[in-house]
């Protein structure tokens, strides 16, 4: 639960960050375009003053130009150049301190705009922003006289206002996205809580169904659920000592619950026969493995149980049934389960046998080491069996159910 909160917060933060970058970037781009246009408008507006009074016929044109230019260069323009209609430079004025700027701009060739067009380019030099502007000059009748080129210095106040405006807008964007994320959090949490409850209810229902199904058959040849509960407890304990993952233990639990579910299809006169089975009868009995596989294969939920259901009567030396698998060909869960199943069958009463004592049962298991049972697993089991036996062999159904509940909870609901 703690994890899911962290996960959601992390996702939301990530979403907030990437959306802020994305939308912030887009806003910044749009703003910059807007600002660019604003600055161009300022520069063009100012330069139009210059052009309106330009008159080709005046003999003292250069002198007038020089005077006008001087006035201009005291304002926002750092550099001012005039070209005739053949794009030949006829005038150049630079404001005091504008030489360095002019040198910079001289490096970049610029195009001459068409009539009515403008060309402009922004430069950031040091902390300051300059805009190079080119305009065609026309007389009152609209005839092309030449070109005006100016380097317009964006003044500090304008620049400052622009920065403030952009920062304000970006801050607003980021804040709105953050507020949205914060508002989403409780919604996601509550949806998620519902989902978790549903999932856990489903899981509980599933575990209950496995228990019910397993117990239904256990009840046929004994009057309690104890065998199923005990073998499941033994199997979990052994698997834990072996260090198996909870995912694998969950499959083992499902397998333990359902290992003999196929006995549901075995006739009473064989299943409940008080004495030894004939060869023919035992051949029928072996079918409980196939029947069991058939039953669980109808549910995807029960797929994990298959290793145990299908292979719990295989033997380590290859002499078991149904496939005659050998050694590690037998799935680990089935090798684990075979040990606990036989141990519990030996120490329990069956319609066909009385229980063996603990020591006798252990001797019988030991004789099966390497032939029936995986010797390494048997060794590990031998190390824990007496405490398992004490814990479970004489406990009643209620106590076993409580213990099993706790173990199942640990592997199904805390993972």
Q: Which residues contact ligand C2E by CB under 6 A?
A: 273, 276-277, 285, 313, 341-342, 345-346, 350-353, 364
Q: Is 306 in the site for ligand SIN (CB under 6 A)?
A: no
Q: Is 218 in the site for ligand SIN (CB under 6 A)?
A: yes
Q: Is 370 in the site for ligand SIN (CB under 6 A)?
A: no
User: In this chain, which stretch among 138-146, 254-262, 331-339, 389-397 interacts with Fe ion, using CB under 5 A?
Assistant: 254-262
Give bridge partners of residue 353 from the DSSP assignment.
350
260, 314, 344, 374: which one contacts Fe ion (CB under 5 A)?
A: 260
The CB-of-14 to ligand C2E minimum distance in angstroms stands at: 54
DSSP letter for 323, please: S
Residue 97's Cβ-side half-sphere holds a number of Cα atoms within 13 Å equal to 5
Q: Is 221 in the site for ligand SIN (CB under 6 A)?
A: yes
User: Can you tell me the distance from the alpha carbon of 192 to that of 131, in angstroms, rounded to the nearest whole number?
Assistant: 55
The CB-of-391 to Fe ion minimum distance in angstroms stands at: 23
122, 169, 192, 222: which one contacts ligand SIN (CB under 6 A)?
A: 222
Tokens representing residue 348 in the block: 């329990």
Q: Are 292 and 322 in contact (CB under 8 A)?
A: no
Nearest residue to 189 via CA among 6, 414, 16, 412: 6
Q: Is 335 in the site for ligand SIN (CB under 6 A)?
A: no
| DSSP secondary structure letters along 33-99 | HHHHHHHHHHHHHHHHHHHHT--TT-TTHHHHHHHHHHHHHHTTEEEEEEEETTS-EEEEEE-TT-H
Is residue 298 classed as helix, strand or coil in its secondary structure? coil
Is residue 235 classed as helix, strand or coil in its secondary structure? helix
Q: Is 368 in the site for ligand SIN (CB under 6 A)?
A: yes
Which of Fe ion, ligand C2E, ligand SIN, none has residue 277 at its interface (CB below 5 to 8 Å by kind)? ligand C2E
Q: Is 149 in the site for ligand SIN (CB under 6 A)?
A: no
Is residue 130 classed as helix, strand or coil in its secondary structure? strand
Q: Is 255 in the site for ligand SIN (CB under 6 A)?
A: no
Which of ligand SIN, Fe ion, ligand C2E, none has residue 222 at its interface (CB below 5 to 8 Å by kind)? ligand SIN
Binding residues (CB under 6 A) for ligand SIN: these are: 217-218, 221-222, 227-228, 260, 313, 315, 320, 342, 368, 372
Binding residues (CB under 5 A) for Fe ion: these are: 260
């Amino acid at each position: 639960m703690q994890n899911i909160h962290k996960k959601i917060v992390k996702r939301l933060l990530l979403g907030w960050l990437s959306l802020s970058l994305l939308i912030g970037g887009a806003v910044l781009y749009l703003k910059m375009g807007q600002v660019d246009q604003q600055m161009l408008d300022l520069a063009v507006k100012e330069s139009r003053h210059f052009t309106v009074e330009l008159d080709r016929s005046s003999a003292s044109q250069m002198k007038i130009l020089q005077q006008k230019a001087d006035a201009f260069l005291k304002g926002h323009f750092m550099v001012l150049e005039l070209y005739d209609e053949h794009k030949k430079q006829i005038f150049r004025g630079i404001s005091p301190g504008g030489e360095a700027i002019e040198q910079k701009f001289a490096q970049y060739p610029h195009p001459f705009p068409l009539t009515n067009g403008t060309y402009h380019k922004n430069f950031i030099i040091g902390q300051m922003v300059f805009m190079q502007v080119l305009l065609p000059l026309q007389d009152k009748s609209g005839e092309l006289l030449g070109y005006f080129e100016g380097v317009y210095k964006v003044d500090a106040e304008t620049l400052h206002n622009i920065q403030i405006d952009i920062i304000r807008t970006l801050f607003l964007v980021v804040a709105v996205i953050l507020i949205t994320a914060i508002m989403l959090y409780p919604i996601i949490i509550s949806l998620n809580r519902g989902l978790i409850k549903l999932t856990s209810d489903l899981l509980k229902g599933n575990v209950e169904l496995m228990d019910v199904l397993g117990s239904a058959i256990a009840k046929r040849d004994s009057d309690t659920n104890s065998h199923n509960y005990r073998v499941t407890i033994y199997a979990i304990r052994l698997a834990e000592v072996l260090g198996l993952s909870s995912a694998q233990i969950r499959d083992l639990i499902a397998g333990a619950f359902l290992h003999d579910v196929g006995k549901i299809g075995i006739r009473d006169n064989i299943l409940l026969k008080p004495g030894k089975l004939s060869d023919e009868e035992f051949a029928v009995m072996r079918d409980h493995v196939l029947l069991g596989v058939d039953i669980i294969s109808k549910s995807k939920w029960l797929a994990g149980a298959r290793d145990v259901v299908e292979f719990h009567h295989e033997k380590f030396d290859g002499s078991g049934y149904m496939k005659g698998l050998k050694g590690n060909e037998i799935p680990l869960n089935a090798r684990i389960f075979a040990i606990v199943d036989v141990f519990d069958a030996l120490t329990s009463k069956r319609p066909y046998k009385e229980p063996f004592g603990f020591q006798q049962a252990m001797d019988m298991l030991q004789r099966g080491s390497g032939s029936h049972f995986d010797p390494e697993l048997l060794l590990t089991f031998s190390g824990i069996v007496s405490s398992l036996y004490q814990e479970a062999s004489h406990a009643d159904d209620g106590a076993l159910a409580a213990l099993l509940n706790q173990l199942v909870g640990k592997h199904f609901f805390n993972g």
